[in-house]
Amino acid sequence: MKDYAGPIRRSAVHPPVRKLQILQSKCLRIANNAPLYIGNMQIHEDMGAPFFADHISSLTEIFDSKLADVGNRLVTQLGRFLR
């Protein structure tokens, strides 16, 4: 999955996080041939795959931390307005 636009998705009116999470969980379940009685959390832990929202949050934190190093005053304040 391309995740270079992850920090930008947080400013969308209705980010499709839930739909993407459902898709990710279904794909992991199919890839593992996991029965229905095994929960999604267990499948994610076994595969070492973070939940989609957690992954986007970590990308956003990394993006925001890099804003402080930019010399432009408007860019350094960008992270504050994207939340």
Of 4-8, 15-19, 64-68, which gets the smallest average pLDDT?
A: 4-8
Instruction: For 18-71, write each residue's pLDDT tens digit.
Output: 888 899 999 999 999 999 899 999 999 999 999 888 887 787 787 777 776 777
Residue 32 lies in a domain: yes
Residue 1 lies in a domain: no
pLDDT at 15 over 70: no
Host domain of residue 78? 51-83
73 and 61 share a domain?
Answer: yes
Dihedral sign computed on CA atoms, order 78, 79, 82, 83: negative
Say what the pLDDT of residue 28 is.
93
Average pLDDT for residues 14-18, to the nearest whole number?
71
Distance between CA atoms of 16 and 19, rounded to whole angstroms? 5
pLDDT at 82 over 60: no
45 and 56 share a domain?
Answer: no
16 and 45 share a domain?
Answer: yes
